[in-house]
């Protein structure tokens, strides 16, 4: 008989990061500069954690972790801030040879998460054939056992120790809801991980009592059995976007990108982009109201 | 008088003609205006997104516009993109890689050095490996030069081309379908022997020798005439789709469609 699962999953960011260990493989939800769990990333940056393997559709989360020397290996298809296409701190890390990488196609990355979610060693795909990805990444092929005998890339499972997400709403049991136009691959990061921790804009008592009624259940894209802990961190996506509440803070991203050129020394600017704690960070960017007033992006 | 960029937009839009009900994705201002022009004129059956997550039946204009004025005919977020558009082959993308070689192999990942320590890190391969093995692709290059149209092979093969040395035995490459290349000088396709790249039209005032001089590999001369000038109806739709005149910033000094002699 298994022990009863603790029903109340509320934690704070520090307690979430206390669950992480040096050398872990950590998946980060969101996409580029969109709905990233940045408060949780900042908490990692305030911690002594090191030698992490990061799996992400990367934005400033990846750039900051690389700049701070937290990353041993990066598994990625791109790292970008949309309007600032090339993530400057990620570039510095790559161009100095500081990190190991497994570079993948965007579709292969989610395919690897799905393999991990289903407990499979790999999933077959045509994607990667005819490119340099397989040779560079040590990806092997598999031959169809059926009459077609097609040779396919065996995309290995991207098993995560931990996934980190930022969501619109949750209750204390870990019933989450996402209200943006795109869920990205958050569902698969959660299912590929042994533990998934989320930060949320709103923490409610019982999500089924919400004013939006039963239709809001469609926003529950990840069942709570995949959620290990919930932290209430309003503004926790800043400077990335949090639709429909606020857009990406391009002014903040520009300051961050400019700092990569001048002075280019993360330790000299880390305090500006990380802060001593989340309250100090939020205050330094004008408070929660200022974050919520960043206009939503059109593409 | 039409501008060079407007001539390029019209030339790019021809890539989407007669594609059927596929998602037309134009990445960057010129390809995106081209896809919108195609849908508004000769190919209304095309599917298209608003650049974020919604399918629209009216192509959305470039640049700032009200967030609350958005409409949607459908939903095609990143979370469904591989299932619905890419891995089913229901898409034609037009993109601008950093490099392309004689095989049509493209690179968006890094330049120089090694993969372990690139001299210049760019975006990463993004979705190019999947796009190029599953659905048609076309390209727009605003600066035709040997730095883009490279001798030998691209620094990292991010997208599949027609290089026989990269065709793993038993692999299914039947989805590889490179269609059209539009540059500031000419229009090309992959219609030569073994999919060799050939020039099919020259922009007004450009000669074949100028294209050869700007290309790092041999080109086939299959020029059938001048790239067509935009007509007034096309120019009016382009202006509607680009109300902030972002297209005027693509080429330095926004030159006219006919190059000065």
Q: What is the pLDDT along chain A (299 residues), one digit of tens a residue?
A: 556 566 899 999 999 999 999 999 999 999 999 999 999 999 999 999 999 999 999 999 999 999 999 999 999 999 999 999 999 999 999 999 999 999 999 999 999 999 999 999 999 999 999 999 999 999 999 999 999 999 999 999 999 999 999 999 999 999 999 999 999 999 999 999 999 999 999 999 999 998 878 889 999 999 999 999 999 999 999 999 999 999 999 999 999 999 999 888 999 999 999 999 999 999 999 999 999 999 999 98
- Contact criterion met (CB < 8 Å) for B160 and A129: yes
Tell which residue, B1, B7, B8, has the closest CA to residue B142.
B8
Which of the residues A130, A139, A260 would you substitute to probe the B interface, choosing the one with the greatest number of B C-beta atoms within 10 Å?
Answer: A130
Please answer whether residues A115 and A159 qualify as being in contact, where contact means their C-beta atoms are separated by less than 8 angstroms.
Answer: no
CA distances from A123 to A53, A115, A155, A161, B137 (A): 21, 6, 5, 20, 25
Q: What pLDDT does residue A262 have?
A: 83
CA–CA separation, A51 and A56 (whole Å): 16
A78 Cα to chain B: minimum distance (Å): 4
pLDDT tens, B166-221?
A: 999 999 999 999 999 999 999 999 999 999 999 999 999 999 999 999 999 999 99
Contacts A106 to B, Cβ<8 Å = 82, 126-127, 130
**Nearest residue, CB atoms, B64 vs list A181, A183, A298:** A298
DSSP-based three-state secondary structure for B189: strand
Contacts A184 to B, Cβ<8 Å = 77-79
Assess whether pLDDT exceeds 60 at residue B43.
yes
**Nearest residue, CB atoms, A151 vs list B77, B109, B170:** B170
DSSP-based three-state secondary structure for B188: strand
- Contact criterion met (CB < 8 Å) for B118 and A149: no
Q: How many CB pairs under 8 A join A and B?
A: 153
- Contact criterion met (CB < 8 Å) for A31 and B78: yes
- Contact criterion met (CB < 8 Å) for A182 and B64: no
Contacts B161 to A, Cβ<8 Å = 130
Contacts B163 to A, Cβ<8 Å = 130
Q: For A90, which residue in chain B has the nearest alpha carbon?
A: B121
Q: Is B171 on the interface with A (CB under 8 A)?
A: yes
- Contact criterion met (CB < 8 Å) for B130 and A108: yes
Would you list the DSSP string of chain A? -PPPPPS--B--HHHHHHT--TT-EEEE-SBTTBS--HHHHHHHHTS---SEEEEEEESHHHHHHHHTT-EEEEEEEEE-BTTB-S-HHHHHHHHTT-SEEEE--HHHHHHHHHHHHTT-SEEEESTTTTSSHHHHHT--EEE-SSTT--EEEEEE---EEEEEEEEEEEETT--EE--SS--TTHHHHHHHEEEEEEEEEEEES-GGG-TT-GGGGGG--S-GGG--EEEE-TTTTTTSBBTTTB---HHHHHHHHHHHHTT--HHHHHHHHH-SSHHHHHHHTTHHHHHHTSPPP--
Contacts B70 to A, Cβ<8 Å = 298
B171 Cα to chain A: minimum distance (Å): 5
Q: Is B166 on the interface with A (CB under 8 A)?
A: yes
- Contact criterion met (CB < 8 Å) for A108 and B119: no
As a whole number, mean pLDDT of residues B92-99 equals: 98
Contacts B122 to A, Cβ<8 Å = 86
Q: What pLDDT does residue A258 have?
A: 97
Which of the residues A132, A146, A297 would you substitute to probe the B interface, choosing the one with the greatest number of B C-beta atoms within 10 Å?
Answer: A132
Tell which residue, A126, A155, A122, has the closest CA to residue A138.
A155
Mean pLDDT of chain B: 97
Q: Give me Rg for the CA atoms of chain A.
A: 19
Q: Is B119 on the interface with A (CB under 8 A)?
A: yes
Q: What pLDDT does residue A276 have?
A: 95
Q: What pLDDT does residue A2 have?
A: 59
Contacts B176 to A, Cβ<8 Å = 130
- Contact criterion met (CB < 8 Å) for A181 and B116: no
The ipTM assigned to this model is 0.97
**Nearest residue, CB atoms, A299 vs list B50, B75, B118:** B50
Tell which residue, A148, A169, A295, has the closest CA to residue A233.
A169
What's the whole-model pTM score?
0.97
- Contact criterion met (CB < 8 Å) for A141 and B168: yes
């Amino acid at each position: 008989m298994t022990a009863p699962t603790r029903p109340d999953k509320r934690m704070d960011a520090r307690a979430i990061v206390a669950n992480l260990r040096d050398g872990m493989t950590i998946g980060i939800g969101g996409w580029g500069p969109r709905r990233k769990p940045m408060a949780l990333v900042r908490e990692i940056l305030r911690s002594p954690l090191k030698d992490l393997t990061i799996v992400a559709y990367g934005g400033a989360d990846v750039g900051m972790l690389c700049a701070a020397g937290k990353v041993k290996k990066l598994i990625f298809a791109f790292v970008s801030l949309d309007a600032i296409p090339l993530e400057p701190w990620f570039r510095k890390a790559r161009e100095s040879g500081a990190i190991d990488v497994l570079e993948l196609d965007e579709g292969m990355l989610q395919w690897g998460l799905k393999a991990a979610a289903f407990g499979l060693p790999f999933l077959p795909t045509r994607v990667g054939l005819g490119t340099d990805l397989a040779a560079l990444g040590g990806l092997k092929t598999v031959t169809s056992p059926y009459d077609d005998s097609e040779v396919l890339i065996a995309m290995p499972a991207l098993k995560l120790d931990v996934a980190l997400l930022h969501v619109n709403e949750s209750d204390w049991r870990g019933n989450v809801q996402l209200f943006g136009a795109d869920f990205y691959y958050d569902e698969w990061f959660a299912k590929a991980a042994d533990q998934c921790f989320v930060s949320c804009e709103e923490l409610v008592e019982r999500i089924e009592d919400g004013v939006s009624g039963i239709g809001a259940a469609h926003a529950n894209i990840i069942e709570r059995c995949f959620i290990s802990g919930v932290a209430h961190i309003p503004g926790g996506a800043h400077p990335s976007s949090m639709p429909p509440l606020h857009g990406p803070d391009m002014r903040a991203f520009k300051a961050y990108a400019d700092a990569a050129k001048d002075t280019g020394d993360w330790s000299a600017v880390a305090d500006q982009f990380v802060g001593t704690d989340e309250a100090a960070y939020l205050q330094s960017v004008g408070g929660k109201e200022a974050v919520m007033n960043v206009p939503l992006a059109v593409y | 008088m039409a501008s060079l960029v407007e001539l390029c937009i019209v030339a790019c839009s021809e890539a989407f003609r007669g594609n059927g009900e596929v998602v037309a994705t134009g990445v960057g201002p010129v390809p995106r205006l081209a896809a919108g022009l195609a849908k508004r004129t000769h190919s209304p059956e095309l599917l298209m997104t608003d650049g974020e997550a919604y399918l629209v039946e009216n192509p959305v204009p470039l640049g700032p516009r009200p967030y609350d004025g958005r409409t949607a005919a459908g939903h095609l977020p990143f979370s469904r993109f591989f299932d619905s558009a890419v891995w089913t082959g229901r898409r034609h993308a037009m993109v601008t890689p950093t490099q392309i070689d004689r095989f049509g192999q493209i690179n968006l990942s890094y330049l120089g050095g090694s993969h372990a320590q690139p001299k210049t890190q760019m975006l990463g391969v993004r979705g190019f490996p999947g796009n190029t093995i599953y659905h048609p692709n076309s390209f727009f290059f605003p600066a035709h030069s040997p730095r883009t149209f490279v001798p030998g092979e691209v620094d990292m093969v991010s997208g599949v081309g027609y290089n026989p040395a990269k065709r793993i035995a038993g692999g299914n490459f039947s989805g590889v379908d490179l269609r059209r290349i539009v540059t500031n000088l000419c229009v090309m396709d992959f219609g030569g022997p073994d999919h060799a790249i050939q020039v099919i039209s020259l922009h007004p005032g450009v000669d074949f020798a100028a294209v050869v001089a700007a290309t790092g590999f041999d080109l086939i001369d299959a020029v059938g005439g001048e790239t067509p000038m935009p007509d007034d109806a096309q120019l009016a739709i382009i202006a509607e789709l680009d109300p902030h005149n972002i297209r005027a910033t693509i080429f330095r000094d926004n030159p006219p469609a006919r190059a000065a002699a």
